[in-house]
Structure 1
């Protein structure tokens, strides 16, 4: 039937297809895989463990001589993603107030644009980049959650960097990195996991999404998601391009919004009561942005990948 070949022909197919299947299952049959045991762990609740194994395998592929490159790439993407999201949100707040523009509040803009989907970025980096690109995941993990949103709204005194969460994101990569550099055979043994595990953690990630959230958010939520991919995705690509990294298309992988970003408006509104008036709408819009970006960001990375390969072939010719 050539199912695998057909899936691979779809941009980011090894990530997108399982993710969409998971989202469709959760939308129309939310309890289908809630059987407990191995079934629920594999198809519903096990994305964290599977993603951890994926990062572990990728960490083993990073040569000790390349470790600094991963940190450098991560810092660059972190500054780009957070900086653009914060500046846009602050500008909208300055000119249009807390209600925002086109029905999209500054709270929704900053919550969605400053948060990146680590799992999706790691998968795209694994498919279109190299181990140093995947290794950058541990650095840009800082952009997950409400911390940088609070900074943008001047609430830095009420928030702290979640060191424990950062360590949790870094540890699988670090342990894999150590083992892979201690023994070349371990690096070789774990190499298949850098691609094999992608569809396995993609499905349960999708199973945490509900497509009905697109309806409740309306056009504004969809627009927010599209803008997030276009603005931060292309920004990541051009920054990598300017710095002459080998796979600039991977930079666009930060164009997707993190799943936990949906809780950011609530966290920020709890600290600043003046934002409660737009918090509920922002939640729906961010939820829509999570789904929209998860779907179209892989297409952007795939498009840029084809463009780069075509351009390089022309240059060689």
Structure 2
């Protein structure tokens, strides 16, 4: 049997297939992942540790002369996603007669569209981008949590910017970056880890998803997921492309895969409506429905974002924009990914 070859023929298969398998098992046989020991540690709870190991391996592949590029990309796509989510949420609150859009409440819109799934971003940029795309996760992690939702809703000051969470993401990248630049042998030793670890953290990411949440939220939740992919995804792409124009990048270097990979909703965004209600009791009445809608967006975007990235990747490749060549041109002597 040629299982690996079959999986690799599916665009993004190393990420998508294990993720869907994990989600299916968690939906229909959740107890199978709760037996404890190595099984639960690896297949249910192992995503964060494995992503940390992946980021360490990835950081080792970034030459010192390339360190500024991931920061630029991360800042551009973060601002683009935030601008899109906040604009849509506030527009619904201000312009719709009942303050909702087809059942979607503004707090759910902002929470879903301004938070992104870092694990999914890492996996997709590893598969379809280059090291500078993946490294942008060190910046986009700032949107993790309820802070920007609270700011957008006018209650800034009741939450803290998650700086510690940002530092926690940076540490493995920086550790790998330092070691990889100090010793070429270490860089080469860690390079296979980038590809090897993808299915191992994709499965537990999927195991945190329950397809039943889509049924709970109904059509509004699915609509929110679609809006998140399309509107926040293109918002991130637009800001990134605009930055390339400001920097006068040649057309062949205008790689927007990282912007497309930002078009998801983070799993922990599900807790944002409750955090908002805690900060402002006026939102208690809509917290429950908003939570269900955000959860549905998380599941929907986990399925649609890989498809969106594949479409954007193929579109730009047809126009001569290759992420691997971008890396090689930006970093003379850099090899990019195989």
TM-score w.r.t. the length of structure 2 is 0.89
How far apart are residue 235 of structure 1 and its match? 2.4
Contact 2:77 2:237 in 1 (8 A): no
SS at match of 1:35: coil
How far apart are residue 99 of structure 1 and its match? 4.3
Q: Match for 1:286 among 291, 294, 299? A: 294
Contact 1:27 1:212 in 2 (8 A): yes
Residue 306 of structure 1 pairs with residue 314 of structure 2 = yes
How far apart are residue 98 of structure 1 and its match? 7.0
How far apart are residue 246 of structure 1 and its match? 4.7
How far apart are residue 97 of structure 1 and its match? 6.6
CA distance in 2, matches of 1:65, 1:266: 43
Residue 93 of structure 1 pairs with residue 101 of structure 2 = no
How far apart are residue 89 of structure 1 and its match? 0.8
Contact 1:98 1:275 in 2 (8 A): no
Contact 1:240 1:251 in 2 (8 A): yes
CA distance in 1, matches of 2:202, 2:44: 10
Residue 269 of structure 1 pairs with residue 277 of structure 2 = yes
SS at match of 2:167: helix
SS at match of 2:208: coil
SS at match of 2:265: coil
Residue 221 of structure 1 pairs with residue 229 of structure 2 = no
Deviations for 1:123-172, whole angstroms, at most 9, x for unmatched residues? 11111111111111011000011011011011111111122211111111
CA distance in 2, matches of 1:97, 1:137: 38
Per mean C-alpha deviation after superposition, the further-off stretch among 258-267 and 87-96 is 87-96
SS at match of 2:31: coil
Tell me which protein shows more helix as a share of its residues. Answer: 1
2:210 maps to: 210
Deviations for 1:79-131, whole angstroms, at most 9, x for unmatched residues? 11111111111111111277411000000100000001100011111111111
2:331 maps to: none
Q: Match for 2:268 among 248, 260, 269? A: 260
Distance 1:174 1:73, change over 3 A: same
Distance 1:57 1:98, change over 3 A: farther
Q: Match for 1:248 among 256, 262, 269? A: 256
SS at match of 2:319: helix
Per mean C-alpha deviation after superposition, the further-off stretch among 286-295 and 300-309 is 300-309
What value does the CA root-mean-square deviation take over the aligned residues?
1.4
CA distance in 2, matches of 1:240, 1:55: 22
SS at match of 1:157: coil
Distance 1:120 1:113, change over 3 A: same
2:42 maps to: 42
Q: Which runs of 4+ in 1 moved over 4 A?
A: none
TM-score w.r.t. the length of structure 1 is 0.95
How far apart are residue 270 of structure 1 and its match? 0.9
Distance 1:114 1:124, change over 3 A: same
How far apart are residue 268 of structure 1 and its match? 0.4
How far apart are residue 11 of structure 1 and its match? 2.8
1:68 maps to: 68
CA distance in 1, matches of 2:298, 2:259: 18
Instruction: Count how many residue pairs are aligned between Structure 1 and Structure 2.
Output: 313
How far apart are residue 230 of structure 1 and its match? 0.7
Distance 1:185 1:264, change over 3 A: same
Contact 1:138 1:169 in 2 (8 A): yes
Query: Which sections of structure 2, spanning at least 5 residues, go unmatched?
Result: 322-338
Contact 1:129 1:250 in 2 (8 A): yes
Contact 1:82 1:113 in 2 (8 A): yes
How far apart are residue 250 of structure 1 and its match? 2.6
Where does 1:188-207 land on structure 2 (aligned, <5 Å)? Answer: 188-207=188-207
Distance 1:97 1:111, change over 3 A: farther
1:8 maps to: 8
CA distance in 1, matches of 2:239, 2:275: 31
2:330 maps to: none
Distance 1:223 1:79, change over 3 A: same
CA distance in 1, matches of 2:10, 2:234: 20
